[in-house]
Amino acid sequence: KAGVTQTPRYLIKTRGQQVTLSCSPISGHRSVSWYQQTPGQGLQFLFEYFSETQRNKGNFPGRFSGRQFSNSRSEMNVSTLELGDSALYLCASSLVGGENEKLFFGSGTQLSVL
Protein backbone atom coordinates (compact mmCIF):
# COMPACT_ATOMS: atom_id res chain seq x y z
CA LYS A 1 0.00 0.00 0.00
CA ALA A 2 1.51 3.32 -1.03
CA GLY A 3 2.05 5.89 1.69
CA VAL A 4 1.15 9.55 1.71
CA THR A 5 2.78 11.21 -1.29
CA GLN A 6 3.67 14.88 -1.35
CA THR A 7 4.92 16.77 -4.38
CA PRO A 8 7.16 18.49 -5.05
CA ARG A 9 9.79 17.54 -2.50
CA TYR A 10 11.57 20.90 -2.71
CA LEU A 11 10.47 24.33 -3.91
CA ILE A 12 12.27 27.64 -4.18
CA LYS A 13 10.17 30.76 -4.67
CA THR A 14 10.64 34.49 -4.30
CA ARG A 15 8.67 36.90 -2.17
CA GLY A 16 5.30 37.85 -3.61
CA GLN A 17 4.90 34.70 -5.67
CA GLN A 18 2.32 32.04 -5.01
CA VAL A 19 2.81 28.31 -4.62
CA THR A 20 0.68 25.16 -4.76
CA LEU A 21 1.59 21.99 -2.92
CA SER A 22 0.02 18.61 -3.55
CA CYS A 23 -0.80 15.67 -1.30
CA SER A 24 -2.10 12.22 -2.24
CA PRO A 25 -3.38 10.35 0.82
CA ILE A 26 -3.25 6.64 1.42
CA SER A 27 -5.87 4.85 -0.65
CA GLY A 28 -9.16 4.78 1.24
CA HIS A 29 -8.26 7.66 3.55
CA ARG A 30 -10.72 10.54 3.36
CA SER A 31 -9.27 12.95 5.90
CA VAL A 32 -6.27 15.07 4.96
CA SER A 33 -4.55 17.51 7.31
CA TRP A 34 -1.79 20.01 6.63
CA TYR A 35 0.89 21.18 9.07
CA GLN A 36 3.66 23.75 8.86
CA GLN A 37 6.97 22.87 10.52
CA THR A 38 9.56 25.54 11.29
CA PRO A 39 12.54 25.52 13.67
CA GLY A 40 11.10 28.40 15.69
CA GLN A 41 7.42 27.51 15.93
CA GLY A 42 7.59 23.75 15.59
CA LEU A 43 4.60 21.99 14.05
CA GLN A 44 1.47 24.05 13.59
CA PHE A 45 -1.89 22.90 12.26
CA LEU A 46 -3.06 24.60 9.07
CA PHE A 47 -6.33 22.90 8.12
CA GLU A 48 -8.10 19.59 7.73
CA TYR A 49 -10.33 18.38 4.92
CA PHE A 50 -12.84 15.57 4.81
CA SER A 51 -15.02 14.71 1.82
CA GLU A 52 -14.01 17.89 0.01
CA THR A 53 -15.02 20.09 2.97
CA GLN A 54 -12.75 22.02 5.29
CA ARG A 55 -13.66 20.89 8.79
CA ASN A 56 -11.00 22.60 10.86
CA LYS A 57 -8.69 25.52 10.38
CA GLY A 58 -5.66 26.67 12.33
CA ASN A 59 -4.58 30.19 13.09
CA PHE A 60 -3.02 31.20 9.79
CA PRO A 61 -3.75 34.21 7.55
CA GLY A 62 -6.06 33.96 4.57
CA ARG A 63 -3.06 33.70 2.25
CA PHE A 64 -3.03 30.04 3.19
CA SER A 65 -5.82 28.07 1.56
CA GLY A 66 -6.52 24.54 0.55
CA ARG A 67 -8.93 22.24 -1.15
CA GLN A 68 -9.72 18.58 -1.48
CA PHE A 69 -10.85 16.74 -4.56
CA SER A 70 -13.36 13.93 -4.91
CA ASN A 71 -10.54 11.36 -4.96
CA SER A 72 -9.37 12.76 -1.56
CA ARG A 73 -6.21 14.29 -3.01
CA SER A 74 -5.56 17.69 -1.51
CA GLU A 75 -3.73 20.84 -2.47
CA MET A 76 -2.69 23.80 -0.42
CA ASN A 77 -1.94 27.21 -1.83
CA VAL A 78 0.04 30.07 -0.38
CA SER A 79 -0.32 33.42 -2.09
CA THR A 80 1.88 36.50 -1.81
CA LEU A 81 4.72 34.55 -0.26
CA GLU A 82 6.69 36.04 2.61
CA LEU A 83 10.15 35.08 3.87
CA GLY A 84 8.53 33.67 7.01
CA ASP A 85 6.62 31.13 4.95
CA SER A 86 9.83 29.16 4.47
CA ALA A 87 9.08 25.84 6.14
CA LEU A 88 8.52 22.14 5.75
CA TYR A 89 4.85 21.56 4.89
CA LEU A 90 3.58 18.19 6.01
CA CYS A 91 0.44 16.45 4.90
CA ALA A 92 -1.17 13.68 6.93
CA SER A 93 -4.05 11.36 6.14
CA SER A 94 -6.37 9.12 8.12
CA LEU A 95 -9.51 7.15 7.44
CA VAL A 96 -12.13 9.58 8.71
CA GLY A 97 -10.17 11.95 10.92
CA GLY A 98 -11.36 10.61 14.27
CA GLU A 99 -9.54 12.00 17.27
CA ASN A 100 -7.86 8.74 18.23
CA GLU A 101 -6.99 7.71 14.71
CA LYS A 102 -3.40 7.23 13.66
CA LEU A 103 -2.21 9.90 11.27
CA PHE A 104 0.07 8.88 8.42
CA PHE A 105 2.45 11.63 7.37
CA GLY A 106 4.13 12.28 4.06
CA SER A 107 7.78 13.28 3.81
CA GLY A 108 6.82 16.89 3.27
CA THR A 109 7.51 19.70 0.84
CA GLN A 110 10.42 21.93 1.80
CA LEU A 111 9.56 25.47 0.71
CA SER A 112 12.25 28.14 0.61
CA VAL A 113 11.20 31.74 0.02
CA LEU A 114 14.01 34.06 -1.11
Partner 1 sequence: GNSVTQMEGPVTLSEEAFLTINCTYTATGYPSLFWYVQYPGEGLQLLLKATKADDKGSNKGFEATYRKETTSFHLEKGSVQVSDSAVYFCALTSTNSGYSTLTFGKGTMLLVSP
State the residues that interact with partner 1 by CB under 8 A: 4, 31, 33, 35, 41-45, 48, 50, 55-56, 58, 90, 92, 94, 97-103, 105-108
Q: Using the minimum distance from each CB to partner 1, give the nearer residue, 1 or 102.
A: 102
Minimum distance of partner 1 from residue 16's CB (angstroms): 29
CB of 95 to partner 1, least distance (A): 10
Rounded CA-CA distance 10/87 in Å is 10
* Nearer of residues 14 and 110 to partner 1, judged by Cβ: 110
- Provide CB contacts within 8 A for 89, sequence distance 6+: 6, 21, 34, 35, 36, 37, 46, 76, 108, 109, 110, 111
8 Å CB contact between 35 and 93: no
Least distance in angstroms from the C-beta of 80 to partner 1: 26
